[in-house]
């Protein structure tokens, strides 16, 4: 009971399984880690946008960023751009805003929102407080050719090919970090008499025993869902989307610009993501089956692809259905779910892989662990990750509830306060009078900080009724706005074009 946990069995060889096993192996070489994946169950094969945290994760795993960029069709992502969310006028600059990864200049020290409202309200908030918008609009990369691996001039994350990413992680985890890899199908769970999992019974390799089982089996949730029967906490009444149609399309011209941010374009009954990689785009239509038929969503996607110049010859998008929600408990006895097995809600802010990274970090931080300490570890893990999922849901809902779109019941239903999370119902009236602040978010490692809420609120046309600022405060804020403008001039002039940096990194490979 008090012996240290030694054998970890990871069920699933998708991005979640390989990220968790690689990080565990890199930071706890004393563990015996086995990843089991089935050729009968393909990986989901989407999930190509990340958060800046992925830079730290890859560094901790021991991967070189240059090698990663060369292998995985990587592009740099500096945030997200939202088109058509406010009024449904996706082509107009007035219905476009950014949620950049860079914090506003002076964030936390100066009352930027009130000063912006008083002196610059005619310009978009993100544009006034940060250089990011102009860097993205100019199609610039977030770093120089000579910037070291994982270093940034402007904060960035990645877009990549999910299939190539999984392969690279697998090679690194098995070849460098000593993770065992079993290609086999798990047919049954062998329980211990105390209710733990003793082993997974595979079709060809017999029973694989372990001390801790990490369920990374995707939407099937073979261990946490099927074996332990842990239900999902449904979020369907808050975030209605429950289906996606992803497709990969080539550029019309091979040297077309590569977007330095994810573009999320709203349509009448959902939204469409557009992720630019060096050689192709990953595009997908997210929609609510209660509000739109599959045919309507396919038509919206095709119209978007036509409008954005995708070649007429296109593969047919495949339909992915999911139940929006997360497990009531992620960790039960000696089994913890990570990745899609733990839950899934729409990929609007690419939070799924970030939650995988956070789960992996947490597991690393809790080790060494014994079976005797595991129940307490599990309780804390369940509390913390329930909190995180709830905050992700708050933040995603914020993108919808301020929309003025009236072109379908989908948007009207999103505006109905009955569909808002309790916390947002409480906070929004406060934010009418003062900006979101650090104390609104209780933890130091919040998934979305107050700065993110400000970008979305003000991007969506929310105008706080703030108290007048003293001349000294206005002056301090103006100094930050001036600094952001100076950074625009310096960085837009000094940073290379996004495609040109990517081409340089590829060329030095050969
Ligand atoms: C439409 C869509 C868009 C998304 N976009 C983003 C995004 O932009 N950013 C982001 O962060 N995330 C995104 N995600 C989420 C992201 O794709 C996943 O979090 C990520 O790919 C991890 O998936 P996974 O490894 O949990 O599951 P999967 O990739 O489904 O892997 C499951 C694994 O389990 C194995 N398995 C299952 N059953 C068995 C069995 N019985 N025996 C043996 N092996 C088994 C399979 O063989 C497979 O290896 C998106 C998801 C969807 C659906």
Domain ranges of the chain: 7-74+158-232+323-391
Decide if pLDDT at 509 tops 70. no
Residue 510's pLDDT is 44
**Quick check: 267 and 285 in contact, CB under 8 A?**
yes
> What is the mean predicted confidence (pLDDT) over 134-152?
97
Is the backbone peptide bond immediately before 377 cis, with ω within 30 degrees of 0?
no
Instruction: Annotate 4-36 with b (16+ C-beta within 10 A) or e (fewer).
Output: ebeebbbbbbbbbbbbbbbbbbbbbeebebbbb
The H or E element spanning position 160 is none
Percent of all residues in the chain with a pLDDT value above 90, rounded to a whole number: 94
Decide if pLDDT at 469 tops 50. yes
Best residue among 188, 339, 357 to mutate for probing ligand 1's pocket (most ligand atoms within 8 Å of CB) is: 339
> What is the mean predicted confidence (pLDDT) over 451-478?
95
The CA angle 370-374-376, to the nearest 5 degrees, is 135
Report d(CA 71, CA 54) in Å as an integer.
16
Residues with CB under 6 A from ligand 1: 11-17, 36-38, 41, 43-44, 46-50, 185-186, 216-218, 220, 222, 244, 246, 284, 320, 322, 339-341, 347, 350, 352-353
Residue 429's pLDDT is 96
Taking the centre of ligand 1 as the mean of its atom positions, its distance from the CA of residue 340, in whole angstroms, is: 5
Q: Which residues are CB-contacts of 504 (< 8 A; sequence separation ≥ 6)? A: 145, 496
**Quick check: 328 and 233 in contact, CB under 8 A?**
yes
Taking the centre of ligand 1 as the mean of its atom positions, its distance from the CA of residue 393, in whole angstroms, is: 19
Report d(CA 104, CA 47) in Å as an integer.
27
Q: Which residues are CB-contacts of 442 (< 8 A; sequence separation ≥ 6)? A: none
Taking the centre of ligand 1 as the mean of its atom positions, its distance from the CA of residue 338, in whole angstroms, is: 10
**Predicted confidence band of residue 189 (pLDDT cuts 50, 70, 90):** very high
Q: On the CB side of 203, how many CA atoms lie within 13 Å of its CA?
A: 10
Taking the centre of ligand 1 as the mean of its atom positions, its distance from the CA of residue 352, in whole angstroms, is: 10
Decide if pLDDT at 384 tops 80. yes
> What is the mean predicted confidence (pLDDT) over 82-101?
95
Which residue owns the Cα nearest ligand 1 atom 20? 15
* Residues paired with residue 265 on neighbouring β-strands, in sequence order: 83, 272
Decide if pLDDT at 209 tops 80. yes
The H or E element spanning position 159 is strand 157-159
**Quick check: 450 and 440 in contact, CB under 8 A?**
yes
> What is the mean predicted confidence (pLDDT) over 271-293?
98
> What is the mean predicted confidence (pLDDT) over 43-52?
95
Residue 442's pLDDT is 79
Which residue owns the Cα nearest ligand 1 atom 6? 47
**Predicted confidence band of residue 91 (pLDDT cuts 50, 70, 90):** confident
Atom of ligand 1 at shortest distance to CA of 262?
Answer: 8
- In this structure, what are the phi and psi dihedrals at residue 17, rounded to the nearest 5 degrees? -60, -45
Atom of ligand 1 at shortest distance to CA of 18?
Answer: 25
Report d(CA 50, CA 169) in Å as an integer.
15
- CA-wise closest residue to 160 among 481, 508, 502, 510: 502
Atom of ligand 1 at shortest distance to CA of 356?
Answer: 19
Report d(CA 301, CA 230) in Å as an integer.
35
Over residues 481-490, the pLDDT tens digits come to 999 999 999 9
Report d(CA 481, CA 474) in Å as an integer.
10
The conformational region for residue 169 under phi > 0 = left, psi -120 to 50 = alpha, else beta, is alpha
Over residues 287-341, the pLDDT tens digits come to 999 999 999 999 999 999 999 999 999 999 999 999 999 999 999 999 999 999 9
Report d(CA 506, CA 501) in Å as an integer.
9
Decide if pLDDT at 467 tops 90. no
Report d(CA 97, CA 456) in Å as an integer.
8
Report d(CA 278, CA 302) in Å as an integer.
22
- The CATH class that applies to domain 7-74+158-232+323-391 reads alpha beta
Q: Distance of alpha carbon 141 from its chain centroid, rounded?
A: 20
Over residues 55-86, the pLDDT tens digits come to 999 999 999 999 999 999 999 999 999 999 99
Which residue owns the Cα nearest ligand 1 atom 4? 47
* Whole-number average pLDDT of the chain: 96
Task: Tell me the pairing of strands 280-287 and 331-332.
Answer: unpaired
């Amino acid at each position: 009971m008090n012996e240290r946990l030694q054998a970890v069995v990871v069920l699933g060889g998708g991005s979640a399984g390989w990220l968790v096993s690689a990080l565990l192996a890199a930071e706890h070489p004393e563990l015996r880690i086995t990843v089991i994946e089935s050729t009968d169950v393909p990986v989901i094969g989407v999930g190509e946008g990340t958060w800046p945290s992925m830079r730290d994760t890859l560094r901790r795993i021991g991967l070189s960023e240059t090698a990663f960029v060369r292998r995985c069709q990587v592009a740099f992502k500096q945030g997200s751009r939202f088109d058509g969310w406010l009024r449904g006028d996706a082509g107009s600059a007035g219905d476009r805003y950014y949620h950049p990864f860079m914090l506003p200049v002076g964030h936390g020290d100066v009352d930027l929102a009130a000063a912006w409202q008083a002196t610059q309200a005619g310009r978009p908030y993100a544009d006034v407080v940060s250089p990011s918008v102009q860097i993205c609009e100019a199609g610039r990369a977030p770093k120089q050719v000579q910037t070291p691996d994982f270093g940034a001039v402007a904060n960035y994350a990645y877009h990549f090919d999910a299939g190539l990413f999984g392969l690279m992680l697998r090679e690194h985890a098995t070849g460098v970090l000593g993770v065992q890899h079993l290609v086999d199908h798990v047919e049954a769970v062998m329980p211990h008499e105390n209710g733990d999992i003793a082993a997974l019974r595979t079709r060809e390799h017999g029973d694989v025993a372990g001390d801790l089982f990490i369920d990374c089996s995707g939407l099937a949730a073979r261990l946490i869902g099927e074996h332990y029967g842990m239900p999902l906490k449904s979020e369907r009444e808050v975030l209605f989307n429950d289906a996606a149609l992803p497709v990969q399309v080539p550029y019309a011209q091979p040297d077309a610009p590569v977007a330095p941010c994810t573009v999320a374009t709203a349509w009448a009954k959902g939204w469409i993501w557009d992720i630019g990689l060096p050689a192709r785009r990953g595009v997908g239509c997210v929609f609510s089956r209660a509000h739109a038929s599959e045919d309507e969503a396919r038509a919206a996607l095709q119209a978007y692809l036509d409008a954005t110049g995708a070649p007429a010859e296109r593969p047919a998008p495949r339909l992915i259905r999911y139940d929006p929600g997360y497990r009531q408990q992620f960790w039960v006895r000696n089994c913890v779910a990570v990745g899609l097995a733990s839950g899934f809600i729409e990929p609007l802010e690419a939070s799924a892989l970030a939650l995988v990274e956070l789960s992996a970090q947490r597991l690393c931080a809790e080790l060494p662990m014994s079976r005797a300490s595991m129940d307490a570890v599990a309780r804390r893990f369940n509390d913390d990750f329930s909190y995180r999922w709830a905050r992700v849901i708050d933040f995603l809902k914020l993108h919808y509830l301020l929309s003025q779109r009236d072109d379908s019941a989908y948007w009207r239903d999103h505006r109905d306060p009955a569909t808002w999370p309790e916390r947002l119902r409480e906070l929004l009236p406060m934010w009418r009078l003062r900006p979101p602040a650090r104390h609104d978010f209780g933890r130091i490692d919040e998934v979305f900080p107050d700065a993110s809420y400000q970008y979305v609120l003000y991007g969506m046309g929310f105008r706080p009724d703030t108290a007048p600022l003293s001349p000294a405060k206005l002056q301090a804020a103006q100094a930050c706005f001036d600094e952001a403008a100076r950074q625009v001039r310096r960085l837009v002039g000094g940073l290379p074009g996004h495609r040109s940096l990517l081409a340089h990194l590829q060329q030095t490979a050969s």
